[in-house]
Amino acid sequence: MKRKTAALSFPAICLALAIPPLTKTITPLAGDIMFAPAYLGYRCVKPVEGARSVPAFGSAGGSQDAPEPVSFPTHDGGLIYANLYGKGDRGVVLAHGGRFNKESWEQQARVLVKAGFRVLAIDFRGYGQSKGPGQADPLSAPLHFDVLAAVRYLRKTGAQTVSVVGGSMGGAAAAQASVEAKPNEIDRVVLLASSITKPEQMKGRKLFILTRDDYSGDSKIPRLPRIRECYEKTPGPKELVILDGSAHAQLIFETGQGERLMREILRFLSEP
């Protein structure tokens, strides 16, 4: 028996946001490609000609109510502050990169809310009011405890499913949270240009996404080979999307590929 649900389908979400949905039958080109076992090969993510360099979230529309400020403890004695957007039983945690904070996700959060998600954008320990062991050096701190605390907060407050979207540092924390989470505690994980440890132990559905020419800081080391290696070690179901350009993680939202990125995230989170 087919389960009844009030959630919008991905094409309906695209229509509501005035974003044309991608097809699943596109001839491979020399442009951007997507690796997805379900498609048995490549799929193009062709950049839009003359796309404007605007944040890639389309028009959130609807109510622009201020998010609800919330806080919750972590397993190791920390305290995490976050902004809560929307209502519903499908939760999404937004985990920022090292240059960002919880406010950086506002526009993406509002698009997700319009698509029917309840969204929790967190400040990691050492950012804003959030605190916890290791906060003086967040890159070496146990940030996955912050993600797990956010996931469990959404679960305790009514979410039936919870996914995590993480950018760079936040993606690494999301991946480790997936490793340490209880079975089915985290439904899906979106990793924006994140190198991870223990990829073979990750749970749930995974989407890896980055730009082809994303290089690591001043070292000019391309991130793609390392992330592809992580992807290959990760158990399915999984997808790898490679976008045109060189922007890193959340910075992609500020480029002409931003709408493509948001569309991929919406598709992945909305598919049954």
Over residues 34-51, the mean pLDDT reads 33
User: 19: how many CB neighbours lie within 10 A of its CB?
Assistant: 20
The pLDDT of residue 20 is 43
Is there a domain that residue 127 lies in?
A: yes
Number of domains within the chain: 1
What's the domain range around 258?
26-270
Q: What is the CATH number of the domain that holds 117?
A: 3.40.50.1820
- Residue at 3 is within a domain: no
pLDDT of 61 above 80: no
Name 42's bridge partners: 35
pLDDT of residue 40: 25
Q: Is 194 inside a domain boundary?
A: yes
Is 15 domain-assigned? no
Q: What pLDDT was estimated at residue 122?
A: 98
Task: Reply yes or no on whether the pLDDT at 3 is more than 90.
Answer: no
**Which range has the worst mean pLDDT, 120-129, 143-152, 167-176, 211-220?**
211-220
Distance, CA of 188 to CA of 22 (rounded, Å) = 20
* Residue of 236 and 56 predicted with greater confidence: 236
Contact 149, 77 (CB under 8 A): no
Residue 4 within a domain: no
Give per-residue pLDDT as tens, 82-94: 999 999 999 999 9
At residue 218 the predicted structure's pLDDT band, cuts being 50, 70 and 90, is confident
If one counts every other C-beta atom within 10 angstroms of the C-beta of residue 161, the result is: 18
Task: Indicate if the pLDDT at residue 215 is higher than 90.
Answer: yes
3-state secondary structure the chain: CCCCCCCCCHHHHHHHCCCCCCCCCCCCCCCCEEEEHHHCEEEECCCCCCCCCCCCCCCCCCCCCCCEEEEEECCCCCEEEEEEECCCCEEEEEECCCCCCHHHHHHHHHHHHHCCCEEEEECCCCCCCCECCCCCCHHHCCCHHHHHHHHHHHHHCCCCEEEEEEECHHHHHHHHHHHHCCCCCCCEEEEECCCCCCHHHCCCEEEEEEECCCEEHHHCEECHHHHHHHHHHCCCCEEEEEECCCCCHHHHHHCCCHHHHHHHHHHHHHCC
Q: Is residue 2 part of a domain?
A: no
Report, in angstroms and rounded to the nearest whole number, the Rg of the chain calculated over CA atoms.
Answer: 17
Is residue 16 domain-resident?
no
Q: Is 245 left (phi over 0), alpha (psi -120 to 50) or beta?
A: left
pLDDT tens digits, 10-27: 444 444 454 444 433 222
Enter the tokens of residue 233. 């070690």
**Mean pLDDT score of the chain:** 83
Is residue 12 in a domain?
A: no
